[in-house]
Amino acid sequence: MKRPSKRFFLLLVALTWSALPAFAHIGSPDVFLEGNAGPYKLFVTVRVPQVIPGVAEIEIRSESNDVSAIRIAPMQLTGPGSQYPPAPEAAERSKNDPQFFRTSVWLMEFGSLQVRIEADGTNGPGLLAVPIPAIAQRTLPMQKSLGALLFILMIVLSLAMVSIAAAAVREGNLAPGAAAPAAREQRVRFAAGIAAFVVAAVLSVGGLWWRADARQYASHIYAPPEIEAVISLENQLVLRAKPIRMTSGNPRRPADWINFNDLILDHEHWMHLFLIRSPGMDAFWHLHPQRASSGSFTQKLPAMPAGHYQIFADVVLSSGFPVTLVGQIDLPSAIAGTPLTGDDSGTDANPIPSETGARAERPLPDGGRMIWERDGQPLEAGVPLMLRFRVTDSSGNAARDLEPYMGMAAHAAIVRSDGSVFAHVHPTGSVPMASFELAQASLPASLAESAHGSMDMKQMTAGKVAPEISIPYGFPKAGLYRIFVQVKRSGQIQTAFFDAIVK
């Protein structure tokens, strides 16, 4: 029998990718961050609620056991709201694991928020600000049983109102025990009719109000903004955010914030553009388009094989809010392209991985290898974990030639096979460096600088990068994922592909 794995994988991917709607939500809203609150290294997971206002669950693991208390306050990331923190609330310390803290906070508004983490311990206080993009991902539908109960109550109450009105007219001024005269029946019917009309009017006004409120809320539900891509001239890709359809006229709709003239630099680039051939996910580029004067972006394409490409374009708004725009482009034939320069990288030369076992190895172009170290446990959706990779040179020894690639020890793009999840992550977590720096800048200056938050750069000291890379992440849902991991070695950017089955 033939081994079905590769073909089955491709078929699965083809089936699911074709079902991808225009409103793919890039569904990895939770925030993972490894950072330092002054002297304490913390691994922070924030589970962002699906509806706003909603409760964010926060889990913090301290690397050392010298943290005695953690307090947390949510607030805006930038603007006046970032100057006046609310009173922080204490996180609960786990009884079994004194390095683990947990709490939940209400996020009351949409937009670019932060949670400020105050850590206290034997080494004094420390502060870390974690940026939180707060968006509504969906409307919670009413439970069917609750809806049925409320409907029955509504009918009973309405009938009761009508019958009370009728009874009041029929029997309101009768002596006890007397029967109502038949002549009153017409007035009774009239009163019942008026009461029914009033009840119906109240119900329909209530219905209108309810629906208007639901529409107002729905206008806040975040759908990834779309990007339009065309190839002009030879090998030149032109990108432009599509106009947002205004369903409600509500200017606070998140997608309306995306203004290509209101961005900040992230890793020294305005945009990080990922082109991933679909459905096979067998060609991957990470490019950095130039800003064009007309609010659009242009990018000279490298040599690329023909095919259909999924586009994920990362930008950071001046509020610190990270946005991933989605789109697609077809290359009817291969393009000759121009050689990659600067931070641009990518490849279609990686073999398609088929094994997803405990340990996966990928060859790198210089004969070295990248190894995904797994603990043998199945990957579970919703569980924060460390993705650990190791780079070896051509003789199998730990690679000594790693350099920072755009300020990071490694970059990884994590994509679900249907394109419904896309996450661009680093050893410091899922927060873009630009948002992180804005958040730390909002911390009060009164505290000693050393107590301020910083990204954890342990994997990278004095321009040297250790060959072991760990990336905090949690897969948001079950499925088949591909992880593209990029490192820079001796000036060359190398990309390895890994597959993950998440249960």
Binding site for Cu ion (CB under 5 A): 411
- Closer to Cu ion at the Cβ: 13 or 315? 315
How is residue 18 written in tokens? 């074709």
- Closer to Cu ion at the Cβ: 103 or 454? 454
At its nearest, how many Å lie between Cu ion and the CB of residue 366?
Answer: 22
Interior angle at CA 94, CA 93 and CA 98, nearest 5: 80
Concatenate the DSSP letters of all residues of 50-74 into one string: SSSSEEEEEEEEESSS-EEEEEEEE
C-beta nearest to Cu ion: residue: 411
- Closer to Cu ion at the Cβ: 52 or 433? 433
At its nearest, how many Å lie between Cu ion and the CB of residue 460?
Answer: 13
Q: Cα separation of 472 and 84, whole Å?
A: 30
Name the residue with tokens 């972006």: 297
Pairing of β 124-134 and β 227-232: unpaired
At its nearest, how many Å lie between Cu ion and the CB of residue 293?
Answer: 26
At its nearest, how many Å lie between Cu ion and the CB of residue 408?
Answer: 6
- Closer to Cu ion at the Cβ: 374 or 488? 488
Answer whether 218's CB lies under 8 Å from 253's CB. Answer: no
First-residue to last-residue Cα distance in the chain: 27
Residue from 251, 262, 264, 277 nearest 329 by CA: 277
Q: Cα separation of 140 and 215, whole Å?
A: 13
DSSP 183: G
- Closer to Cu ion at the Cβ: 49 or 289? 289
The radius of gyration of the chain's CA atoms, rounded to the nearest angstrom, is 29
- Closer to Cu ion at the Cβ: 103 or 459? 459
Sheet bearing 236-241, strands edge to edge? 227-232, 236-241, 297-300, 290-291
- Closer to Cu ion at the Cβ: 118 or 456? 456
- Closer to Cu ion at the Cβ: 26 or 223? 26
Please report the sign of the dihedral spanned by the C-alpha atoms of residue 200, residue 201, residue 204, residue 209: negative
At its nearest, how many Å lie between Cu ion and the CB of residue 223?
Answer: 24
- Closer to Cu ion at the Cβ: 91 or 465? 465
Answer whether 352's CB lies under 8 Å from 338's CB. Answer: no
Answer whether 416's CB lies under 8 Å from 481's CB. Answer: yes
Query: Which three-class secondary structure state does DSSP give residue 323?
Result: strand
At its nearest, how many Å lie between Cu ion and the CB of residue 474?
Answer: 18
At its nearest, how many Å lie between Cu ion and the CB of residue 284?
Answer: 13
At its nearest, how many Å lie between Cu ion and the CB of residue 412?
Answer: 8
Name the residue with tokens 């950072």: 35
At its nearest, how many Å lie between Cu ion and the CB of residue 470?
Answer: 15
